[in-house]
C-alpha cells in the first residue's frame, strides 16, 4: 500500500487545483459529492486537524477504491466514504462548511433544482458550495459555467467564477457559491 505522500503525488492536477482553490482549513467540515477514487479526499484529509470530510459516490467500484486509498484517514476518523446517491443520502443539515464536487454532471445535465436546494440546507451558516469542472476545450466550459451559475443564482446563491487553462487547451473551472440569506 503506497504511503500518504506517494498518494498525494499521484493526485491529478485538477484535484490539487480544487483543494487549493477551496483553501481547506484544519477545522473545516466538508462534503464531497461524487468522490470517484477518493484522490481529493486524501488531499483534503491531510489538511484537517479537528475537521472531517464525508465523501459520497453512487458507484460501488468508486467507493471501494476511495475507501482503500483513504484507509488511514478513515481509521483516524478524519474521513468517511459512503456508497450513496446524493439525492437520498442521510446527511446532517446546516453542518458542512464546504460542499464540493469535481466533474460531477448533475450540475450541467438538466435542472438540478432539487439537489441545489438540498445543498443549501446542508451548508452551515457562512458555508460555501464549490462546483469544479475540467473540459478539453474552452468552448464548453463557458456554456457550462454560465448555465450552472444561472441555476445557483435562481436557488438563492451569489456566485463567482475562476478558470485556469492547462496544457493542450484543457480548462479548469470553479464556481464558488454563497447563500445570499
Ligand X SMILES: C[S@@+](CC[C@H](N)C(=O)[O-])C[C@H]1O[C@@H](n2cnc3c(N)ncnc32)[C@H](O)[C@@H]1O
Which residues lie near ligand X (CB under 6 A)? 15, 33-36, 56-59, 62, 85-87, 102-104, 106
CA distance 38 to 163: 23
* Coil, strand or helix at 131: strand
Exposure on the CB side of residue 64, measured as CA atoms within 13 A: 3
Shortest distance, CB of residue 43 to ligand X, whole angstroms?
11
With respect to ligand X, which residue has the nearer C-beta, 62 or 119?
62
Least distance CB 146 / ligand X (angstroms) = 21
Report, in Å, the least distance between residue 46 CB and ligand X.
17
Residue with Cβ nearer ligand X (38 or 127): 38
First CA to last CA distance, the chain: 46
Shortest reach from residue 88's CB to ligand X, in Å: 9
| Closer residue to ligand X in complex, CB, 50/147 | 147
Q: What's the order of all strands across the beta sheet hosting 96-102?
A: 79-83, 52-57, 29-33, 96-102, 123-135, 171-179, 157-165
Question: In 3D, which of 108, 94, 92 has the Cα closest to residue 173?
Answer: 108
Q: Which is nearer to ligand X, 38 or 51 (CB)?
A: 38
Q: How far apart are CA 146 and CA 162, in angstroms?
A: 12
Choose between 50 and 113: whose C-beta lies nearer to ligand X. Answer: 113
**Rounded least distance, CB 2 to ligand X, Å:** 18
Between CA 115 and CA 50, with CA 39 as vertex, the angle to 5 degrees is 80
Amino acid at each position: 500500500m503506497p504511503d500518504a505522500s506517494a498518494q498525494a503525488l499521484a493526485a491529478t492536477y485538477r484535484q490539487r487545483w480544487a483543494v487549493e482553490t477551496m483553501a481547506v482549513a484544519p477545522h473545516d467540515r466538508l462534503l464531497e459529492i461524487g468522490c470517484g477514487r477518493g484522490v481529493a479526499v486524501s488531499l483534503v484529509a491531510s489538511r484537517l486537524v479537528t475537521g472531517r470530510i464525508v465523501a459520497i459516490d453512487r458507484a460501488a467500484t468508486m467507493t471501494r477504491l476511495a475507501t482503500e486509498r483513504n484507509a488511514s484517514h478513515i481509521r483516524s476518523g478524519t474521513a468517511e466514504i459512503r456508497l450513496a446517491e446524493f439525492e437520498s443520502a442521510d446527511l446532517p443539515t446546516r453542518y458542512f462548511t464546504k460542499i464540493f464536487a469535481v466533474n460531477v454532471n448533475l450540475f450541467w445535465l438538466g435542472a438540478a433544482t432539487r439537489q441545489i436546494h438540498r445543498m443549501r440546507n446542508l451548508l452551515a451558516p457562512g458555508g460555501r458550495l464549490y462546483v469544479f469542472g475540467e473540459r478539453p476545450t474552452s468552448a464548453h466550459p463557458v456554456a457550462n459555467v454560465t448555465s450552472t451559475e444561472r441555476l445557483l443564482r435562481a436557488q438563492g446563491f451569489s456566485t463567482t467564477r475562476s478558470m485556469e487553462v492547462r496544457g493542450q487547451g484543457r480548462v479548469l473551472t470553479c464556481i464558488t457559491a454563497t447563500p445570499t440569506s
